[in-house]
C-alpha cells in the first residue's frame, strides 16, 4: 500500500507484483470496466511492465474504516479475487501522533464560526441562572432552555447557509465553499449533540443523537457527508450545481429539524 497507512478519504495505491504476465505491453482498464463498490472509489487499474517484473496497480479512495474487500475484476489474463485492504479511522488515537501535523492557527473571520456560540450562550443565559435556581424542581425550565438553545443554533446555521449560497452566486471557488461548509456544519452538530463531530467519518456522523434520540430524517447526515467526501476527495473539478444541491439539502434538513424542535420531539 502506498502510503502504508491509509485513512478514510485518502487517495492511495495498492501495488501487487505479478509472477507471470503474458502481455508485452501495459494494460489499463477503462472507467466502465472498474469494479463497483459502495465503499471504494477507483481511479486507475493497470498492469505495468517493469524491468524488475510486471505489477498490478490499483489507485483508489475508501470511505469506510476497517478491512474492505475489493470486488472481483479481470484485467488482461489476470483475475483478481478476494484482495483485501485495511482502512484506518482518524479517530484511532494510537495513530494520531505520527500522521497529524501541528494545529493550524485560529482563523478570525467575523460571522463565520459557530465557535462563538459558547461565549454568546453564557452571556445570554446568565440572567436566566437565577430563575433556574429558583425553579430547579420544575422540569419545564430545563426543557424550555434546551429548546431555546437548539432553535437558536438552527437559526445561526441557517444564516451561514444563506451566506454560502450568496458566495456561490458571486463565483467563489466551489472547493472553498465546501471547506467552509464542512467546518461550520460539523461545529453546529457538535454544539447540538454535545459530541465532537469534527473528526468523525460520514458513517459515525450518521449515528449521532440528541439525548439518545435519533435526528429527524435519520439517514440524512450519513448520506450527506458521504456525498460531501466524494466531492472533496474525488480528484476532479467540483461543479457548482453539486455544491448548490448540497446547500439545498442542508436547508431542507434545517427546516425539518426546526419543526421537530418546536414540537419538542427531541428535547
Domain limits, the chain: 11-96, 116-262
CA distance 182 to 250: 11
Strand, coil or helix: 78: strand
Model pTM?
Answer: 0.48
Of 10, 85, 79, which is closest to residue 47 (Cα–Cα)?
79
Q: What is the per-residue pLDDT for 106?
A: 56
Q: What is the per-residue pLDDT for 32?
A: 86
Q: Please count the residues of the chain.
A: 267
CA distances from 251 to 27, 112, 195 (A): 46, 17, 22
C-alpha cell at 73: 475484476
Check whether the bond before 3 is cis (ω within 30° of 0).
yes
Q: Using one digit for the tens of pLDDT, what is the confidence trace for 74-105?
A: 888 888 888 899 988 876 545 444 555 556 55
C-beta of residue 14 within 8 angstroms of C-beta of residue 85: yes
C-alpha cell at 246: 448540497
Q: Using one digit for the tens of pLDDT, what is the confidence trace for 114-134?
A: 556 666 776 777 767 766 665
Q: What is the per-residue pLDDT for 93?
A: 46
> In degrees, to the nearest 5, what angle opens at C-alpha 172 toward C-alphas 166 and 175?
115
Q: What is the pLDDT along the chain (267 residues), one digit of tens a residue?
A: 888 889 888 899 999 888 766 666 788 988 888 988 888 999 999 988 877 778 889 999 998 888 999 999 988 888 888 889 998 887 654 544 455 555 655 555 555 555 566 667 767 777 677 666 655 555 566 677 777 888 888 999 999 999 999 998 888 888 889 889 989 999 999 888 888 888 888 888 888 887 777 777 668 888 899 988 888 887 788 888 999 999 999 999 999 888 887 776 444
Amino acid at each position: 500500500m502506498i502510503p502504508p497507512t491509509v485513512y478514510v478519504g485518502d487517495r492511495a495505491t495498492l501495488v501487487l507484483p505479478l509472477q507471470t504476465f503474458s502481455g508485452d505491453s501495459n494494460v489499463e482498464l477503462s472507467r466502465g470496466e472498474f469494479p463497483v463498490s459502495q465503499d471504494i472509489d477507483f481511479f486507475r487499474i493497470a498492469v505495468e511492465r517493469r524491468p524488475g517484473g510486471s505489477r498490478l496497480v490499483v489507485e483508489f479512495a475508501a470511505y469506510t474504516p476497517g478491512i474492505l474487500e475489493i470486488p472481483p475484476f479481470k484485467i488482461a489474463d489476470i483475475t483478481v479475487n478476494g484482495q483485501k485492504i485495511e482502512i484506518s479511522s482518524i479517530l484511532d488515537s494510537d495513530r494520531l501522533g505520527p500522521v497529524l501535523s501541528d494545529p493550524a492557527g485560529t482563523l478570525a473571520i467575523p460571522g463565520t464560526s459557530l465557535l462563538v456560540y459558547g461565549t454568546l450562550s453564557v452571556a445570554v443565559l446568565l440572567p436566566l441562572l437565577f430563575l433556574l435556581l429558583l425553579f430547579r424542581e420544575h422540569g419545564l425550565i430545563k426543557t424550555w432552555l434546551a429548546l431555546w438553545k437548539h432553535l437558536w443554533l438552527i437559526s445561526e446555521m441557517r444564516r451561514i447557509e444563506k451566506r454560502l449560497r450568496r458566495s456561490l452566486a458571486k463565483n467563489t471557488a466551489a472547493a472553498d465553499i465546501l471547506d467552509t461548509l464542512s467546518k461550520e456544519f460539523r461545529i453546529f452538530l457538535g454544539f447540538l449533540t454535545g459530541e465532537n463531530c469534527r473528526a468523525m467519518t460520514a458513517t459515525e456522523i450518521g449515528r449521532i443523537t440528541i439525548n439518545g434520540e435519533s435526528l429527524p430524517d435519520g439517514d440524512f447526515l450519513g448520506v450527506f457527508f458521504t456525498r460531501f467526501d466524494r466531492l472533496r476527495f474525488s480528484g476532479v473539478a467540483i461543479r457548482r450545481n453539486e455544491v448548490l444541491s448540497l446547500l439545498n439539502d442542508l436547508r431542507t434538513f434545517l427546516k425539518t429539524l426546526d419543526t421537530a424542535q418546536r414540537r419538542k420531539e427531541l428535547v
